[in-house]
Amino acid sequence: MSILTEEYTLSNGVKIPKIGFGTWLVEDDKVVEPVKNAIEMGYRHIDTAQAYENERGVGQGIRDSGIAREDIFVTTKLAAEIKSYDEAVKAINESLEKAGLDYFDLMIIHSPQPWSDFRNGEHFYEGNLEAWRAMEEAYNDGKIRAIGVSNFEQKDLENILENGTVEPMVNQVLAHVSNTPFDLIEFCQKHDILVEAYSPVAHGEILDNKEIKELAEKYNVSPAQLSIRYCLQLGLLPLPKSENPDHIRSNAELDFEISAEDLNKMKQMERIKDYGSSNVFPVFEKGI
């Protein structure tokens, strides 16, 4: 059975494919083909965001794929800077309009802080509750089938869990071999919040890791495949991203099992020290 046909079940009963196709840094006019390619290869879960400025192209790629809308799981993210109810309501409706969709399968708050304040100490508790209220409303109105968050630490999640009326179903975080937030994952899983792993290959920086390369050879797979499989075996939902059709295909060819011993070894690998050119992005800069 292909991983592309397997699903997790969210806390509200909605099914979500176990692997997603990421579209970060793919421009709006260039994202249509990769989305179509991914769907053609069997992907049924596409991840975009307001901040990516490619919702229109993603929506077009989905329509052009020829696959029924209800058979594709589409995620978008509320911009990190939006911390008021009115702005959030407006942005949710604008995203639907841009993508040309009647509903999103999942919408998540992109970050507890605006990117310019990412992990600087302020948690924006009130602003996140305002944005969450707008998402709860859209969820109750059927505009969104599931709602969640991204980059939320335990304190940020507790704020929503204690004060919201709908519990977050997903927390999308930076998680990969050599930088896996085990305590946060455990907290989420305890509260029935599915953890999605973005940058499961550390934005490419993990692929030259000597230990990863040696382990990948042992399983006769690529370092990328090993890294993505690692996330799955931790119960996470990986979101690999590529514009290369060969990589799009191979990222989902994960029909192998990492042994308990090797998985343990991977869990204890020395923490990544440098994300190279990606250090300019707050999630990587503050993730070190």
Clarify whether 52 is annotated catalytic: yes
Pairing of strands 237-239, 147-150: unpaired
Could you tell me the two tokens for 39? 């769907």
CA distance 272 to 77: 27
Radius of gyration, CA atoms only, the chain = 18
CA distance 140 to 165: 11
CA distance 55 to 227: 27
CA distance 148 to 135: 9
In the chain, the amino acid numbered 243 is E
Residue 85: how many CA atoms within 13 Å on its side-chain side?
7
| Closest to 60 measured CA to CA, from 71, 74, 43 | 74
- Exposure string over 147-181, b if 16+ CB within 10 A, otherwise e: bbbbbbbbebbebbeeebebebbbbbbbbbbbbbb
| Closest to 110 measured CA to CA, from 77, 136, 81, 82 | 77
Residue 76 pairs in a beta bridge with 107
Q: Which helix or strand (DSSP H or E) is residue 96 part of?
A: helix 85-99
Give the list of residues 6+ apart from residue 101 with CB closer than 8 angstroms, or none.
Answer: 59, 62, 69, 74
Exactly one of 43, 52, 139, 230 is catalytic; which is it? 52
Active site residues: 52
